[in-house]
Chains A and B, each alone.
Chain A
Amino acid sequence: KNQVEQSPQSLIILEGKNCTLQCNYTVSPFSNLRWYKQDTGRGPVSLTIMTFSENTKSNGRYTATLDADTKQSSLHITASQLSDSASYICVVRAEGAGSYQLTFGKGTKLSVIP
Protein backbone atom coordinates (compact mmCIF):
# COMPACT_ATOMS: atom_id res chain seq x y z
CA LYS A 1 0.00 0.00 0.00
CA ASN A 2 1.31 3.44 -0.92
CA GLN A 3 2.05 5.53 2.15
CA VAL A 4 3.54 8.92 2.98
CA GLU A 5 4.75 9.56 6.52
CA GLN A 6 5.69 13.04 7.71
CA SER A 7 7.59 14.04 10.80
CA PRO A 8 7.41 15.71 13.14
CA GLN A 9 3.65 16.00 13.49
CA SER A 10 4.08 19.51 14.87
CA LEU A 11 6.96 21.88 15.50
CA ILE A 12 7.42 25.18 17.31
CA ILE A 13 10.42 27.37 16.50
CA LEU A 14 11.56 30.90 17.23
CA GLU A 15 11.40 33.50 14.50
CA GLY A 16 14.66 33.65 12.57
CA LYS A 17 15.62 30.04 13.25
CA ASN A 18 15.93 27.28 10.65
CA CYS A 19 13.99 24.03 10.61
CA THR A 20 13.74 20.82 8.61
CA LEU A 21 10.63 18.79 7.94
CA GLN A 22 10.80 15.15 6.90
CA CYS A 23 8.81 13.03 4.47
CA ASN A 24 9.26 9.26 3.99
CA TYR A 25 7.30 7.40 1.36
CA THR A 26 6.68 3.91 0.09
CA VAL A 27 4.96 4.93 -3.15
CA SER A 28 5.98 2.83 -6.10
CA PRO A 29 6.66 3.28 -8.92
CA PHE A 30 7.68 6.84 -8.09
CA SER A 31 6.80 9.71 -10.40
CA ASN A 32 7.27 12.93 -8.44
CA LEU A 33 7.05 14.49 -5.00
CA ARG A 34 5.52 17.83 -4.08
CA TRP A 35 5.53 20.02 -1.02
CA TYR A 36 2.53 22.21 -0.29
CA LYS A 37 2.03 24.96 2.28
CA GLN A 38 -1.44 25.23 3.79
CA ASP A 39 -2.38 28.19 5.96
CA THR A 40 -5.09 27.49 8.52
CA GLY A 41 -8.51 27.44 6.87
CA ARG A 42 -7.08 27.98 3.38
CA GLY A 43 -6.26 25.81 0.39
CA PRO A 44 -2.77 24.30 -0.09
CA VAL A 45 -0.28 26.19 -2.24
CA SER A 46 2.51 24.43 -4.11
CA LEU A 47 6.06 25.16 -2.93
CA THR A 48 8.06 22.81 -5.09
CA ILE A 49 7.87 19.67 -7.19
CA MET A 50 10.70 17.17 -7.52
CA THR A 51 11.21 14.38 -10.01
CA PHE A 52 13.38 11.30 -9.74
CA SER A 53 16.50 12.95 -11.12
CA GLU A 54 16.40 16.02 -8.90
CA ASN A 55 18.23 16.05 -5.57
CA THR A 56 17.71 19.63 -4.47
CA LYS A 57 15.37 22.43 -5.43
CA SER A 58 14.98 25.86 -3.85
CA ASN A 59 12.12 28.32 -3.75
CA GLY A 60 13.25 31.39 -1.85
CA ARG A 61 13.85 30.40 1.78
CA TYR A 62 12.47 26.90 1.12
CA THR A 63 14.82 24.14 -0.02
CA ALA A 64 13.57 20.65 -0.76
CA THR A 65 15.77 17.60 -1.08
CA LEU A 66 14.98 14.17 -2.47
CA ASP A 67 16.78 10.87 -2.00
CA ALA A 68 14.98 8.45 -4.30
CA ASP A 69 17.11 5.53 -3.12
CA THR A 70 16.03 5.81 0.50
CA LYS A 71 12.63 7.27 -0.46
CA GLN A 72 13.06 10.30 1.73
CA SER A 73 12.51 14.00 1.20
CA SER A 74 13.06 16.99 3.42
CA LEU A 75 11.92 20.59 3.37
CA HIS A 76 14.34 23.05 4.94
CA ILE A 77 13.13 26.51 5.91
CA THR A 78 15.80 29.14 6.43
CA ALA A 79 15.47 32.22 8.63
CA SER A 80 11.88 31.48 9.53
CA GLN A 81 9.24 34.21 9.57
CA LEU A 82 5.92 34.44 11.39
CA SER A 83 4.19 33.96 8.03
CA ASP A 84 5.78 30.51 7.74
CA SER A 85 3.33 29.29 10.40
CA ALA A 86 1.26 26.74 8.50
CA SER A 87 0.88 23.05 7.75
CA TYR A 88 3.32 21.60 5.24
CA ILE A 89 2.06 18.67 3.22
CA CYS A 90 4.15 16.14 1.31
CA VAL A 91 2.42 14.54 -1.69
CA VAL A 92 3.83 11.70 -3.78
CA ARG A 93 2.59 10.67 -7.20
CA ALA A 94 2.88 7.12 -8.48
CA GLU A 95 3.71 6.44 -12.09
CA GLY A 96 0.98 4.95 -14.23
CA ALA A 97 -0.43 5.87 -17.59
CA GLY A 98 -4.04 6.98 -17.31
CA SER A 99 -4.11 6.55 -13.57
CA TYR A 100 -4.47 9.04 -10.80
CA GLN A 101 -2.28 8.05 -7.87
CA LEU A 102 -1.58 10.83 -5.40
CA THR A 103 -0.79 9.91 -1.82
CA PHE A 104 -0.96 12.72 0.72
CA GLY A 105 0.91 12.90 3.99
CA LYS A 106 -0.90 14.12 7.10
CA GLY A 107 1.25 17.22 7.24
CA THR A 108 3.58 18.90 9.72
CA LYS A 109 2.11 21.85 11.58
CA LEU A 110 4.76 24.54 12.00
CA SER A 111 4.35 27.39 14.47
CA VAL A 112 6.85 30.24 14.34
CA ILE A 113 6.78 32.38 17.49
CA PRO A 114 8.33 35.81 18.12
Chain B
Amino acid sequence: DGGITQSPKYLFRKEGQNVTLSCEQNLNHDAMYWYRQDPGQGLRLIYYSQIVNDFQKGDIAEGYSVSREKKESFPLTVTSAQKNPTAFYLCASSINFPGELFFGEGSRLTVL
Protein backbone atom coordinates (compact mmCIF):
# COMPACT_ATOMS: atom_id res chain seq x y z
CA ASP B 1 0.00 0.00 0.00
CA GLY B 2 1.15 3.55 -0.67
CA GLY B 3 1.95 5.69 2.30
CA ILE B 4 4.47 7.39 4.53
CA THR B 5 6.58 5.35 6.92
CA GLN B 6 8.30 6.90 9.91
CA SER B 7 10.77 5.08 12.09
CA PRO B 8 11.39 4.49 14.86
CA LYS B 9 7.98 4.92 16.51
CA TYR B 10 9.61 5.57 19.89
CA LEU B 11 13.16 6.75 20.56
CA PHE B 12 15.04 7.56 23.73
CA ARG B 13 18.17 9.66 23.69
CA LYS B 14 20.64 10.93 26.20
CA GLU B 15 21.40 14.62 26.32
CA GLY B 16 24.21 15.59 23.98
CA GLN B 17 23.50 12.88 21.44
CA ASN B 18 22.35 13.38 17.88
CA VAL B 19 19.51 11.22 16.61
CA THR B 20 18.10 10.70 13.12
CA LEU B 21 14.41 10.08 12.39
CA SER B 22 13.57 8.29 9.18
CA CYS B 23 10.76 9.23 6.78
CA GLU B 24 10.09 7.26 3.61
CA GLN B 25 7.19 7.68 1.15
CA ASN B 26 6.13 5.59 -1.83
CA LEU B 27 3.43 7.99 -3.01
CA ASN B 28 5.70 9.54 -5.64
CA HIS B 29 5.17 12.92 -3.99
CA ASP B 30 7.55 15.75 -4.79
CA ALA B 31 7.25 17.68 -1.52
CA MET B 32 8.03 16.49 1.99
CA TYR B 33 7.82 18.16 5.40
CA TRP B 34 8.79 17.76 9.04
CA TYR B 35 6.60 19.04 11.86
CA ARG B 36 6.96 19.07 15.60
CA GLN B 37 3.95 18.61 17.88
CA ASP B 38 3.99 19.52 21.57
CA PRO B 39 1.11 19.11 24.04
CA GLY B 40 -1.35 21.97 23.83
CA GLN B 41 0.29 23.50 20.76
CA GLY B 42 -0.38 23.48 17.06
CA LEU B 43 1.98 21.73 14.68
CA ARG B 44 5.10 23.73 13.90
CA LEU B 45 7.10 23.42 10.71
CA ILE B 46 10.76 22.44 11.06
CA TYR B 47 11.90 21.95 7.46
CA TYR B 48 10.34 21.34 4.09
CA SER B 49 11.52 20.17 0.71
CA GLN B 50 9.79 21.07 -2.52
CA ILE B 51 11.88 18.78 -4.66
CA VAL B 52 14.81 16.40 -4.38
CA ASN B 53 18.16 18.01 -3.49
CA ASP B 54 16.41 21.11 -2.19
CA PHE B 55 15.04 22.07 1.23
CA GLN B 56 14.13 25.19 3.21
CA LYS B 57 13.97 26.08 6.88
CA GLY B 58 10.61 26.30 8.54
CA ASP B 59 9.64 28.24 11.63
CA ILE B 60 11.73 26.26 14.15
CA ALA B 61 14.74 24.90 12.23
CA GLU B 62 17.37 25.67 14.87
CA GLY B 63 18.97 22.50 16.21
CA TYR B 64 17.68 20.36 13.33
CA SER B 65 19.10 19.28 9.98
CA VAL B 66 17.69 17.42 6.97
CA SER B 67 18.73 16.00 3.63
CA ARG B 68 16.79 15.14 0.48
CA GLU B 69 19.06 12.99 -1.65
CA LYS B 70 16.23 10.78 -2.88
CA LYS B 71 12.65 11.62 -3.75
CA GLU B 72 11.36 8.95 -1.38
CA SER B 73 13.39 9.89 1.68
CA PHE B 74 13.58 12.93 3.96
CA PRO B 75 15.45 12.10 7.18
CA LEU B 76 15.52 14.53 10.10
CA THR B 77 18.49 14.80 12.45
CA VAL B 78 17.86 16.22 15.89
CA THR B 79 21.20 17.57 17.02
CA SER B 80 22.54 18.22 20.50
CA ALA B 81 22.03 21.92 19.76
CA GLN B 82 18.25 21.49 20.02
CA LYS B 83 17.52 22.66 23.55
CA ASN B 84 14.21 20.92 24.09
CA PRO B 85 14.00 17.98 21.70
CA THR B 86 11.44 15.87 23.56
CA ALA B 87 8.38 15.94 21.29
CA PHE B 88 6.23 14.08 18.77
CA TYR B 89 7.65 14.45 15.25
CA LEU B 90 5.46 14.15 12.17
CA CYS B 91 6.61 13.73 8.59
CA ALA B 92 4.28 14.63 5.75
CA SER B 93 4.29 14.72 1.97
CA SER B 94 2.25 16.32 -0.79
CA ILE B 95 1.99 15.53 -4.48
CA ASN B 96 3.33 18.97 -5.33
CA PHE B 97 4.16 22.20 -3.53
CA PRO B 98 2.14 23.46 -1.83
CA GLY B 99 -0.45 20.72 -1.65
CA GLU B 100 -2.66 18.66 0.60
CA LEU B 101 -0.59 16.99 3.30
CA PHE B 102 -0.48 13.26 3.95
CA PHE B 103 1.06 12.46 7.32
CA GLY B 104 3.07 9.57 8.64
CA GLU B 105 2.32 7.91 11.98
CA GLY B 106 4.86 9.97 13.88
CA SER B 107 7.97 9.37 15.98
CA ARG B 108 8.05 10.14 19.68
CA LEU B 109 11.47 11.28 20.88
CA THR B 110 12.25 11.42 24.58
CA VAL B 111 15.48 12.88 25.88
CA LEU B 112 16.58 11.44 29.20
Contacts and interface: CB of A to CB of B under 8 A. Distances in A.
A99 B97 CA distance: 9
Interface size class of B (residues with CB under 8 A): 20 to 34
Given A100-B97, A100-B98, A102-B45, A43 B40 contact: no
Contact of A104 (B43, B56, B106): B43
A103 B105 CA distance: 20
Nearest to B42: A104
A100 B44 CA distance: 12
Interface residues of A, number: 19
Interface string A3-35: 010000000000000000000000000000010
Nearest to A101: B98
B100 A34 contact: yes
A106 B42 contact: yes
A11 to B, nearest CB: 15
Interface of A: 4, 34, 41-46, 49, 89, 93, 99-100, 102-107
24 contacts: A4-B42, A41-B88, A41-B106, A42-B106, A43-B90, A43-B92, A43-B104, A43-B106, A44-B90, A46-B100, A46-B102, A49-B100, A89-B43, A93-B98, A100-B45, A100-B48, A100-B56, A100-B97, A102-B45, A102-B98, A102-B101, A104-B43, A106-B41, A107-B42
In the A-B complex, the 4 residue pairs with the smallest Cβ-Cβ separation, listed nearest first, are A43-B103, A104-B42, A104-B43, A43-B105
